[in-house]
Amino acid sequence: MSASATNPERDPRIEACGTASAHPEDLAKVEIFAFLSQLAEAGQASLSPLENGEIEVRFLTGEIFLLGASTITRLN
């Protein structure tokens, strides 16, 4: 999964969250994923899809988050 971590658009779960076809109630999720994708492209964070459907976000500053379908959990 390292290819997805360096290029989040390759994973359909990450790519689908940033598309304009999302439902209006998911606009906040779309904006968050767009911002996280920009951070990943800039080398500030890595996005890694997990087998359980969540996405792990690791920032260069050490913070780690899990993005679920409707939650964001900070791990450290």
What are the pLDDT digits (tens) for 11-48? 555 555 545 555 666 788 888 889 999 999 999 999 99
Helices (H) and strands (E) in the chain, counts: 3, 4
Q: What pTM value is reported for the model?
A: 0.66
Cβ atoms within 10 Å of 60's Cβ, excluding its own: 11
Q: Which residue has the higher pLDDT, 52 or 69?
A: 52
